[in-house]
Chains A and B, each alone.
Chain A
Amino acid sequence: MNASIENVSRRGFLKNVLSAGAFVIAVRYLPDIAFADEVARSVIDTTPLHPSVYVGLETDGTVYIVAHRSEMGTSSRTSLPMILADELDADWSRVKIIQAIGDPRYGSQDTDGSKSVRDFFNPLREGGAAARLMLIRAAAQQWGVSPDECTTGLHQVIHAPSGRKADYGQLVAAAAKQPVPTKSEVKFKPRSQWRYVGKGENPYDLRDYCTGKSRFGLDAKVDGMVYAAIAHPPVLGGTVKSLDDKPALAVTGVQQTITIDTFKPPCHFQPLGGVAVLADNTWSAFQGRKQLKIEWDNGANAIYNSEEFKRQLQETARKPGKVWRNQGDVDKEFASDAKIIEADYYIPHLAHASMEPPMALADVRGDRVEVWTSTQNPQAVQESIASELKIPKENIICHVTLLGGGFGRKSKPDNAVEAAVLSRKAGKPVKVVWSREDDIQFDYYHTVSAAHMKAAIDAKGRPSAWLQRVVYPSIGSTFQAGAEYASAGEMQQGWTDIPYDLPNLRVENGPAPAHVRIGWFRSVANIYQAFAVQTFTDELAANANADRIQYILELIGPGRRIDFKAMGVEYPNYGGSLADYPVDTGRMRIVIEQVAEKSGWGKEKSGHGVGYGFAMHRSFLTYVACVVKAEVNADGDIAIPQVNYVVDAGLVVNPDRTKSQFEGAAVFGTSIARYGEITAKHGAIEQSNFHNYQVTRLPEAPRRTNVYIIENDAPPAGVGEPGVPPFVPAFCNAIYAATGKRVRELPLSKMDFSKSAKS
């Protein structure tokens, strides 16, 4: 393994030709790691031909496709290669998927924001189409016919007039000599000829997942590796005041301890600091850590108490804040005789709790680093280690393993930096293993938020004025010390884009300091912003004694595209252009009307412990309407017999995997609603494992989640995250419908629904 590090410079790629005749347009480097497989080794990133960095063909016809994004459960590792294979007319059974190392030539590898398909749909099609054209031209040349007379079938070029056919494998050597087609020469297949896109394939790793063969980060192993457990400062920014490591060193298997410096703010992806115990195996490292005698200087964040902080947030939410969108004059309307309805909403911090805790294995040799980690963002691994060790990022090879869940946590490579720091100091490969306690107590938390909503109600029960104000420590605080206001990127998530057609509307955000690391968490700000908007809407509909769905359709108004420019609102639109991905209330209406139909809305009356709740939300460019059925028994136990989603995500590449994302989103949302709560006391997190940070288990998950995908020609949008935001308010609205108890604060585990079933 170690010798291979020397071969990995960008220049080194050209030297590694293993199969001289191969038509290889892949970027690929295969180190001698524990789980490199021999077949994949024959494909090396080398060749003057680079119509795409994503694909290469071997002379036996094997098609290698690079998965440059991370696989954490969304099947991007399957669905992205499918797009390329489709344009190439490749036989899926002859496709081998190669996981990319971190390399900027692939474009962004930061697998977050539900954008793998939407950002790479066309680049991957171009890669497949370019390779297909080169194969066609090679065949035409051999046969002495015009390429225009040639077509492709499954893994072969066909010349229909003469009946000649050639398997891709036979053409690879000749195709490698063809010039790379220009973009304008490349033509996509018509949709009617798509083989895989829109139909779908099972996850590439499905059988391995079910047989224990799939390799996650925690399964990475290299010779001479030691295992590290780190005692992190209990409070963010804390430092080691004194250390006695003798009892730890006495533990069987413990080799040494190493103190890691605490980061200098902002925390970014730097190590938290603390004391690492290096040992022969994971268990010894954990045992050794228990024996460390450390006195901490907790620092400034020891003032953080969640109970008190909640009150502060709620106070701030009732004071004027920064105005992000303003139409008409809400104050004038509030000062009139109109009926006023106000409500406050609160959601605590949440921890990601992916089933595989964060980990990283690093091997530092001089100014070269090789790292194996279950990361969502290998280029950030390179950049963060480079910055910490003060070496060029090109010297860092980041191998991406399968991820045992990510949910945004694994976009932050602090653990990879820890492993690199420790490997440099120890002079050997170090695998940092975070325990579940580390994961829950030292997360980049989903922020804590308070929202204040206020409406003036007209004679018909509709809002004549609407004010919404939300307050939370911003993700920006992780990257800029002292940041207290939300960014436009957070505000866009169901806040500045409230789609209601209202004469008087004001959208605000108030300041809040951060005392823990704040980070992205599946669906991010949409969670609390959708909860406030969609619950408040339900409250207003209840006040008007109106059908919820009819009420929201009236608020949304006729189909139109929201013109943010005209309103002077900065709207990043998740990085998508508003021309391609408008905020289209017409598409909202369709998902709403469809979910009413699919769920049998209105057929069974709510009440007496059974309730139907509704919510709609656009996030990550996808429109989702959700109806949840809840049952509450006399003991106050809540069951979720059925969830219905209608989804408009534009073109859907892999329908079954998309459905699975929404099935999972309903469970993830159930966890947020039922149990999600992380609290701090004197700056330290009070929860530590699944007994006091509970997540949903099988018996209390939605029993049946139906997912209906709207078929249309709109460009592809996100599917990994958009299912979460509408689920939470729809579920809570269902509980209200069943019990008459309004949910304004989560988690539900703090509320008592016993004896309320009949109200």
Chain B
Amino acid sequence: MTIILIVEDDFTIALLYEKILETMGIQTISANNGKEAVDLYISLSDKPDIILMDHRMPIKNGIVASKEILEIDNQSKIIFLSADSSLENDVISIGAKKFIKKPFSIKELIKSIKKILIFSGCTNIV
């Protein structure tokens, strides 16, 4: 079963991501901010296949959280979602797999998720 960790402080946006991923048969878990995401990541025995990461969140932002997660496991697959396209280079240079500019289409998100899953050898994709 594919698991995706959603890191997003906007409750409605997080809910919509969940609903989109649900239609793909993907299981989701959520964190409200960067700190929660890192803590949750550490505590999970089954690490998520992909992390959807927002940037501007309280307590800890997306870039710092991504760095910390990649330090724990440099194989973590992070898709960074932000309205600020000036972050793209930074995000890719720290090791995120993909940067998607908000607002984005569901198609674009699904395409990126599928691509990453195929590369990492996941076969059970809807």
- Is B one of A's binding partners? no
Interface residues in chain A, defined as those with a beta carbon under 8 Å from any beta carbon in chain B = none
Binding site for A on B (CB under 8 A): none
